[in-house]
Amino acid sequence: MSAVATPAPSPALPQRRAPGRARLRRVLRSTPVNVVLVVVAVLWLTPTVGLLVTSFRPGQDYLSSGWWQALVHPATLNLDNYRHILSGGNIVDALVTTVLITVPATLLVVLVASLAGYGLVFLRWPGRDWVFLVLVALMVVPLQMGLIPVSLLYKHLGLFGTIPGVVLYHTAFGLPFAIFLMRNFYTGIPRDLLEAARIDGASEWTMFRRIVLPLGMPALASLAIFQFLWVWNDLLVSLVFLASAPHQPLTVTIFSQLRQFGLNIDVISTASFISMIIPLIVFFAFQRYFVRGVLAGAVK
Amino acid sequence: MATVPAVAEPAARPAPVSITGRGPGGGGWRRGLAVGAFMGPALLFLGAIVGYPTVATIIASFFNKTTTTFVGLDNYRTVFGTSDILVAVRNNAIWVIVFPFLVTFTGLVFAVLTERIRWATAFKAVVFMPMAISLFATGVIWRIVYETDPHRGVINSMVGTVADAINPPGSYALPNIKPISGLSQRSDGSMVSTATVHPDGTVKLGLTGISPTDIPPGATSASEPATVQGGVAGVVWRDFSPGGHVGVVDSGEKGLPAMRIDLLRGDGSTAATTASGADGRFVFRDVGSGSYRVAVAASNFRAPFGGVAWLGAQSLTPADRLGGTARTLLTVPLVDIAAIVAMLWMWGGFAMVVIGAGLAALNREVLEAAKIDGASEWQTFRHVTFPLLLPVLIVVFVTMIINVLKIFDIILSLVPESSQREANVIAVQMWNSAFTASDYGVGSALATFLFVLVVPVIVVNVRRIRG
């Protein structure tokens, strides 16, 4: 896959063997940096650990002492909050709803964007460059611009308050960036590859499926992860379209709990952590694609 | 965009020459069909849910609540004339001024520092991890961090440890303690004898509001002070017992040991300081002639650090004295800064990784050359690395501006109801106006305002692509 552009590895610097004193000096000089970064890393981890520990503590403990006290008395930690919340059905239902929104919205974006990327790179048609410019312009259009007209449109079509409505909205607002990403990636695929296939009589569909789609896999993976996280973590779109619907995703469910009962920490912290588990697994399992996807997608 | 490290910019490429004479994609209706099949779904989605609504929202911003009557600029007048909404605009301004700079700076520092450690991968994973967490959950996480009670909030706990070390709390920091006989409380918290006292005189300072469990364990029964030649003697005690008399040291009433007692001159300055004994008695020896008052110092009652309300609406600027719009615009609520720090936690890793990728792509030879020329590390950074890195820094900066303009979730989850109004932002107000108050006109005006703010970015992006 050398045809697909990857950043050129920076030429390795010639490693000079450091004599003892120089090495000592370097160690001494890098010690403050190490100390500072260890402190930063601990600071960065603390808030998440705080939430995790809080979710394993009884609610009344939260009122009397800080979560760090529980690290000294680990016996006070238990799974009761999780047992309670998962037996309630409320959060389980929300988790299922989140999945039902996120998975189709991700698949749709990946499919539609890879098709359009192909259309923009390998098909020649009048207005193609113009369409691409419009796409670039649409990339930073705030999500808020669509909410009011689309909710009116959805009410008209009977899509308001339904999961498909939310899926379509996420797909549409995910597309400008997704197509941009796929187009840029496909531009790096040599055309000779397709020309050869075309001479052999392959149809556009065959070339898309057999050549372009497999070559585009790394970009598709980054895109899928980015879109997945984007939709999974969304609050606003679901809040608008599913506010009074029978099934709501995790973010909306936790939000209405927060609004109604304040910070009743045993429920809020536990539900929040449940909502974070899958994104965190995705993060640790696919860190490379994840980083690439987030980097690429931050322009949204 | 420049943030896509794995994707090459399209190079100018000669149009492929087709041997068959047909253009790529076939000719005539077949080509049309292929274009329709590949582009159709995307164009349908974008037209129906992004393109058309964008235009419709702009139009609706000139119409009334129910989008039936044209009202001209009324909605925009409401946006910039209603103080609640103006607060939202002001907060977005604070975010835009502070946040992009803060994140870019933090990312740059982290990126430069991680180049010098062996465990850079682990460090980056830790700092980048919050990117996986939703903004909503980030708000919940930081709400726990910011708890006001130092026993519950980790920041206030740390601040409290330092504050209590510098200013130790008094041993009588009791909520209900108050003078009952012989003294009265001043506004500074100290309790001062009501009568003046002269050398050879005595004072009795009775306090109450101390529950039996709050009496220090070493306290013994109080007794009447004995006159001291040339000095002032006194007792400070818990002037309460069943059947006892106020102002009299009754049997069974305990002294209050280890109280800091000041002897005050007529002008209020301190002449001497002492501490009470186990029976509550104290003596100032050899005081010069004159009239004095005796004070139980405020430090005895100083409460321990009670915690900063990080998520409160109190302003960091002295805008309280201003009135009306000026006050609204110049207030910087503490909760904004608290929320900005939480967002920094989330986006710091992003900035670090993007800038780190930029650093790694720098031409090493230039840096080596600078080093050989004898440039110090700081000079190399200032005059070589930084200018070369500037385009990447600008990308991060602009990305953060776009990000912050649309900030929504974290305000709803982090900010408690009580300061929600002071922490309002445009996106939250847009949601409230359009979907809580059902005012589509004002909601559309707010959305359009957001849109107008990103138009410069759109122009720059389109220009760059068209090159």
CB contact under 8 A, B45 and A172: yes
How far B331 CA lies from chain A's nearest CA (Å)? 26
Q: Could you tell me if B379 and B422 lie in one domain?
A: yes
Q: Is residue A11 part of a domain?
A: no
Q: What is the pLDDT of residue B332?
A: 86
Residues of B with Cβ-Cβ distance to A27 under 8 angstroms: none
Across residues B425-452, what is the average pLDDT? 92
Among B269, B301, B333, the domain boundary falls at B301
Residues of chain B found within 8 Å of residue A131, distances taken between Cβ atoms: 39, 43
Q: Range with the lowest mean pLDDT among A22-36, A220-234, B123-137, B256-270?
A: A22-36
Residue B6 lies in a domain: no
> Do B66 and B197 belong together in one domain?
no
| CA–CA–CA angle B67, B73, B78 (5° rounding) | 85
Nearest to B19 among A47, A131, A199 (CB): A199
- Write the DSSP string, A9-47: PPPPPP-PPPPHHHHHHHHHHHHHHHHHHHHHHHHHHHH
Query: pLDDT band at A293, cuts 50/70/90?
Result: low
Query: Can you read off the two tokens belonging to residue A221?
Result: 């993976």
pLDDT at A27: 67
Is A183 within the bounds of a domain? yes
Q: Which of B152, B446, B462 sits opposite A62 (nearest CB)?
A: B152
Confirm or reject contact between A229 and chain B (CB < 8 A). Answer: yes
Separation between Cα atoms, residue B319 and residue B141, nearest integer Å: 31
Is pLDDT above 90 for B446? yes
Would B27 be classed as within a structural domain? Answer: no
Quick check: is A136 in a domain? yes
Residue B191: pLDDT over 60: yes
CA distances from B426 to B84, B91, B275, B448, B457 (A): 10, 8, 58, 11, 18
* Rounded-to-integer distance, Cα B169 and Cα B185, Å: 18
Q: pLDDT tens digits for B309-334?
A: 888 877 787 777 777 777 778 888 88
Distances (CA, A) of B124 to A129, A280, A290, A292, B394: 38, 15, 13, 13, 21
Residues 241-300 of A with CB under 8 A from B: 243, 251, 254-255, 258, 262-263, 265, 268-269, 272-273, 275-276, 279-280, 282-284, 287, 290-292, 294-296, 298-299
One domain, residues A38 and A150: no
Last residue of a domain, one of A78, A104, A127: A78
Q: Do B297 and B198 lie in a common domain?
A: yes
Chain B nearest C-alpha distance from A187 (Å) = 6
Does A154 lie in the same domain as A290? yes
Shared domain check, B358 and B415:
yes
Last residue of a domain, one of A54, A78, A102: A78
pLDDT digits (tens, 9 = 90+) for A229-270: 889 999 999 999 998 888 899 999 988 888 876 668 888 888
Residue of A116, A142, A284 lying closest to B38 (CB–CB): A116
Question: B162 in a domain, yes or no?
Answer: no
Residues B113, B81, single domain; the answer is yes
Same domain, A72 and A131: no
ipTM score of complex = 0.84
Average predicted confidence (pLDDT) for chain B: 84
For residue range B93-135, list pLDDT tens digits in order. Answer: 999 999 999 999 999 999 999 988 888 889 998 998 998 898 8
Q: Which pLDDT score is estimated for A294?
A: 63
**DSSP bridge pairs for B242:** none
Residue B257 has pLDDT above 70, yes or no: yes
Considering only the beta carbons, identify the residue of B4, B457, B466 that sits closest to A140: B457
Q: Give the number of domains in chain B.
A: 2
Testing the interface with B: which of A55, A153, A240, A272 to mutate, by most B Cβ within 10 A?
A272
Question: Does the structure show a pLDDT above 60 at B23?
Answer: no
The reply to whether B321 and B458 lie within a common domain is: yes
Tell me if B431 and A239 make a contact (CB, 8 A cut-off): yes
B100 within some domain: yes
Does B41 fall in a domain? Answer: no
Residues B440-448: what's their mean pLDDT? Answer: 93
Residue B346 falls within a domain, yes or no?
A: yes
- pLDDT band for position B21 (cuts 50, 70, 90): very low
Question: Which residues in chain A touch residue B367, judged by CB atoms under 8 angstroms apart?
Answer: none
Cα–Cα separations (whole angstroms), residue B305 to B157, B315, B394: 9, 20, 42
Alpha carbon distance A109, A173 (integer Å): 9
* pLDDT tens digit sequence for B130-154: 988 988 899 999 998 998 888 888 8
Same domain, A45 and A175: no
CA distance A266 to B144: 12
pLDDT of A111 strictly over 70: yes
pLDDT digits (tens, 9 = 90+) for A62-89: 777 888 888 888 878 888 888 888 887 7
Enumerate the residues of chain B whose CB falls inside 8 A of the CB of residue A167: none
- Give the highest mean pLDDT range of A105-119, B181-195, B255-269, B319-333: A105-119
Q: Which pairs with CB-CB distance under 8 Å and at least 24 residues apart come from A135-138? A: A135/A176, A135/A179, A135/A180, A135/B46, A136/A176, A136/A180, A136/B458, A136/B461, A136/B462, A136/B465, A137/B458, A137/B461, A137/B462, A138/A176, A138/B46, A138/B50, A138/B51
Q: Give the relative orientation of helices A90-122 and A265-285 as an angle to the nearest 10 degrees.
A: 30
Return the pLDDT at A7: 39
| pLDDT at B17 exceeding the cut of 60 | no
Residue A235 inside a domain? The answer is: yes
Domain containing B143: what range? 46-152+317-466
Report the domain count for chain A: 2
Q: Given B301, B330, B354, which residue is the final one in a domain?
A: B301
For B210-240, what is each residue's pLDDT tens digit? 888 888 888 888 888 888 888 899 999 888 8
The answer to whether residue B58 scores a pLDDT higher than 90 is yes
- CATH number at B261 reads 2.60.40
Are residues A121 and A169 located together in one domain of the fold? yes
pLDDT tens across B340-353, in order? 999 999 999 989 98
Query: Could you tell me if B368 and B462 lie in one domain?
Result: yes
Of A124, A168, A251, the CB nearest to B23: A124
Establish if A231 touches chain B: CB-CB under 8 angstroms. Answer: no
Classify residue A12: in a domain, yes or no: no
Q: Are residues A171 and A190 in the same domain?
A: yes
pLDDT band at A28 (very low <50, low <70, confident <90, very high): low
| Whether residue A269 sits in one domain with residue A148 | yes
| Inter-chain residue contact A298 with B4, CB threshold 8 Å | no
Contacts of B167 (CB under 8 A, 6+ apart): B302
Whether residues A97 and A49 fall in one domain = no
Residue B10: inside a domain, yes or no? no
Predicted confidence (pLDDT) at residue B32 exceeds the cutoff of 80: yes
My answer on whether B370 and B448 are in the same domain is: yes
Identity (one letter) of the amino acid at B140? V
Interatomic CA distance for residues B450 and B445, integer angstroms: 9
- Per the CB < 8 A criterion, the answer to whether A228 and A281 are in contact is no
Based on the fold, state whether residues A158 and A47 are members of the same structural domain. no
Q: Tell me, yes or no, whether A231 and A92 share the same domain.
A: yes
Range of the domain at A26: 21-78
Write the CATH number for A109.
1.10.3720.10
- Decide if A8 is inside a domain: no
Please indicate, yes or no, whether residues B199 and B321 belong to a single structural domain of this protein: no
* Residue A66: half-sphere exposure toward Cβ, Cα within 13 Å: 23
Q: Which of residues 71-110 of A touch B (CB under 8 A)?
A: none
pTM of the model: 0.82
Which pLDDT value is given to residue A12?
Answer: 41
Please report the pLDDT score of residue A295 as a whole number: 65
Same domain, A55 and A97: no
| pLDDT band at residue B403 using 50, 70 and 90 as cut-offs | confident
- Calculate how close chain A gets to B233, using CA atoms only, in Å: 43
Predicted confidence (pLDDT) at residue A298 exceeds the cutoff of 80: no
